[in-house]
Chains A and B, each alone.
Chain A
């Protein structure tokens, strides 16, 4: 019975000229989005690999100089994209893709594509995720709003119900028929995307690409199904198909445009995060003040005396380690807790904003889907934070390697004025700093971070199904 209904719904839909137009448009957009996303991804991946290679080379070939100066010369880290970034580029355009790693300073990421774009980029780049998040629900609404209201208006609903069809079968049959029509549009595009993805080389994907794809697919399926059952519920409930369409398009605009913007604004009002300029100024002042209010100058004097005691000497000239390098490293380490405190605080603010936005996902199914999609595509804040943490680990290692090499190699230069000019290191020394390597966050952690969003999305789906069942059970057969 359900299959009979589904088959009839499907053939009715595909015979409708309006559906063919919508399907063609949707396929065109989705394919364009997928392919342009893939092209952007491969372009970016090539640039990223080339840039990281050349910056690694530049580090080694920076020219012979004092190792601490080399740490100032610094190194760049370029964020590698995960393969699914072609599908959902998340916050990539806004969060920055390159970090300058130098002595004494922990920097924010730079190279944000959005800052190089015209105002039109504010609508977001065309990518597969955007089409599926915004336009797929619209297609479903257009196919679903007449499901019951239209049959009631044309009178076929009475004919149908006189045959002895249960209302439940009617709901499931219609849902299956519409779902089949939607899949006919979407699946070929996804197949093309899968081929493109495979062509980029999945060996770079790291483990879990299959799991990621499966979970992303499940999330989008739940989202689409929630819209499908909501459309059927409203169509059964509404007095006319016109009312049904208005209600559904209204809800679509609410969840697709109003809520994401509102959620961002609300979270920013509830948990204010500092402006870039004042954040940097505060951190600098705190560095100069010292983490616990004791100035670095005083701490340095204490450190010097401690070294004197340790080596049983009374003058810098007698130290068996190069004091300038030791003091540089000490200053560096005094800064670490200041950096940590400030960066952690702003990261915590962003996390709190995100948690608030996630909770608002109870009001709009797009919010949990968007978070899940970004997280599993590796283009969200978790991934970005991990990249930034890795750059800081690299930076500290680079600085400590250079300083400690200097402290030992120049141990005999303590008494020499302007000694830095004497201690010159070459490529071999610079090579003790291994090139930057990014280790993405563990998949398990990423999945765990989205547990709440998966629950909210599942909640939407269950609620939509229950609503549809109730609406169909109460559905009147007559036009009012």
Chain B
């Protein structure tokens, strides 16, 4: 579903990404680990065509994101570290707006409420303006937007950092549900524990390169931490 082929991105003389190859299939939760500046966010930006690659391709459902960005974005949902919404609109209104922009204008008011219910946003909160929301509530709306978009691939950029453990856990539950429905999920994260718990595969990045890939069922949490720290040395 998501596929990077010899993907490179340079900013001037700085090479942010040095020929990345990775695949995320349907039902995969692929966790990208690595220090800040390793190229995780650049990878996500390339799939979203927020930046253009220097060379190589970022393919979504087999289509080069740089060649037809409007088409590839139809399959994608993006949840950043901070889901940014319009403060003067309610959670419901934000959801409806983004759903329509994502090309889905057939939903009823009940459908929208259903999405917010599914991600665990209280009903009274849904009608409140978003500027009163906590971070966790915003992240839930972000997931609801992804649900409404019926995205086949999710790009998550440290979506749980700063969330309290309960909210973080709820978020992971939602990811597992989406995985069960066949979504391909690429998630950049610093949270080794969650990566091991929810991820199916893990890629460790360093200085723009993917230095190791592993399956989460092959390693224990302690092993994962050891491998990770070895690469960071």
Contacts and interface: CB of A to CB of B under 8 A. Distances in A.
Nearest to B98: A163
Interface residues of B, number: 29
A204 to B, nearest CB: 48
Nearest to A154: B84
B101 A160 contact: yes
Contact of B50 (A5, A154, A166, A477): A477
A163 B149 contact: yes
Given A161-B50, A162-B76, A166-B70, A16 B84 contact: no
The residue among B76, B86, B102 with the most chain A CB atoms within 10 A of its own CB is B86
A15 B129 CA distance: 11
The residue among A12, A159, A161 with the most chain B CB atoms within 10 A of its own CB is A159
Interface string B36-64: 00000000000010100000000000000
A163 B73 contact: yes
Contacts of A166: 70
Contacts of B103: 164
B18 interface: no
Given A155-B84, A159-B84, A164 B70 contact: yes
Contacts of B93: 8, 11
Contact of A159 (B76, B83, B89): B83
A156 B84 contact: yes
A4 B99 CA distance: 10
A184 interface: no
Interface in B76-120: 76-78, 80, 82-89, 93, 97-98, 100-103, 105
A53 B98 CA distance: 68
A156 B138 CA distance: 12
A2 B86 CA distance: 18
B97 A4 contact: yes
Nearest to B81: A155
Contacts of B77: 162
A24 interface: no
A12 B86 contact: yes
Given A162-B76, A162-B78, A156 B97 contact: no
Contacts of B76: 162, 164
Nearest to B48: A162
Contacts of B48: 161-162
A163 B102 contact: yes
The residue among A159, A162, A166 with the most chain B CB atoms within 10 A of its own CB is A162
Given A163-B73, A163-B149, A12 B50 contact: no
A466 interface: no
A354 B71 CA distance: 54
Contacts of B50: 158, 161-162, 477-478
Interface in A1-49: 1, 4-5, 8, 11-12, 15-16
B74 interface: yes
A159 B80 contact: yes
Interface residues of A, number: 22
Given A4-B97, A12-B89, A164 B84 contact: no
Interface in A195-246: none
Contacts of B73: 162-164
B86 A164 contact: no
A221 B184 CA distance: 49
Nearest to A16: B88
A154 B82 CA distance: 10
B78 A159 contact: yes
A16 to B, nearest CB: 7
A59 B89 CA distance: 72
A313 interface: no
A165 interface: yes
Interface in A325-376: none
Contacts of A162: 48, 50, 73, 76-78, 155
A5 B100 CA distance: 9
B89 A164 contact: no
Contact of A164 (B80, B97, B102, B105): B102
Contacts of A8: 86, 89, 93, 97
The residue among B70, B89, B98, B103 with the most chain A CB atoms within 10 A of its own CB is B98
A16 B50 CA distance: 30
The residue among B77, B85, B100, B155 with the most chain A CB atoms within 10 A of its own CB is B100
Contacts of A478: 50
A166 B76 CA distance: 15
Contacts of B74: 164
A160 to B, nearest CB: 7
Given A156-B86, A161-B50, A164-B71, 7 more contacts: A1-B101, A4-B97, A12-B86, A12-B88, A155-B82, A159-B85, A162-B78
Top 8 nearest A-B pairs (CB, nearest first) are A164-B73, A155-B84, A162-B78, A163-B101, A4-B100, A156-B84, A15-B88, A163-B102
9 contacts: A156-B85, A158-B78, A158-B84, A159-B98, A161-B48, A161-B50, A162-B50, A163-B98, A164-B74
